[in-house]
Amino acid sequence: MNELMLIFVAAGLVKGVTGMGLPTVAMGLLSLVMPLPAAAALLVLPSFITNIWQLFTGPSLGPIVRRLWPMMACMVPATFAGSALLIGAGQGAVAGLGAALIVYASYALLAPALAVPARAEAWLSPLTGAITGVVTGATGVFVMPSVPYLQALSMSKDELVQALGLSFTLSTVALAGGLAAHNAFPLAQLNQSLLAIVPALLGMWLGQKIRARLSAKHFRLCFMLFLLGLGVELASRPFI
């Protein structure tokens, strides 16, 4: 139990410093000590609480919902359906999680300057939502390709934070629903998930304190290199 709490402190700390990364770090580290479906179930409440707070930080929720509803409308059912892959794939799901971490960390380290033309949003938004849903359902990680897509929409910093909060919150709810539908979210996991909220919030508080004293750029570089290494380890595990 202490090991699990430390994982959530670490994941919350990353979110406190960078504004994101709690589910990504938590799933990567939890997968080292438990099956992925159990890790995803444990993540539900800490992820929901921290992301709902992020969602309502800022004044632009209404416009963001109106702009992104096609993406969300495709992402939610795809996540729900994709959760069957997380439950049934076994070591294949671990490899998929590792691949998702590698792709995300590599993208973040390269930091390509992308911009989505307004005319392309009508078809790219639902496509991004559907792909993100399948990846989320299969791996428990919410970031690909939704984060690069949202970062390319020319939003202000506050709007982007709220948009990420909206995406992560709905992904969490849809993943929880998918796990429950497959009897992979038992009451015992709910109790453990509830207990994980406190260390996650503690980690966020520590991260916010660190952010005031540490270069966010350097921390982000170290964080992405860590995710890359963790992704390689997870992706190679089924072949070792």
pLDDT in tens, 37-95: 888 888 888 888 888 877 887 777 889 999 999 999 999 999 999 888 877 666 666 77
Question: Considering the entire predicted model, what is its pTM?
Answer: 0.80
- The label of the residue with tokens 């700390």 reads 13
Q: What is the mean pLDDT of residues 204-209?
A: 82
Closest Cα partner for 51 from 189, 172, 224? 172
Domain that holds residue 62: 2-239
What span, in angstroms and rounded, lies between the C-alpha atoms of 78 and 24? 19
The pLDDT value given to residue 88 = 67
Please check whether residue 182 is in contact with residue 87, taking contact to mean a CB–CB distance below 8 angstroms. Answer: yes
| Domain count along the chain | 1
Which of 8, 42, 26 has its CA nearest to residue 187? Answer: 42
Which residue has better confidence, 190 or 142? 142
Question: Is residue 127 pLDDT above 90, yes or no?
Answer: yes
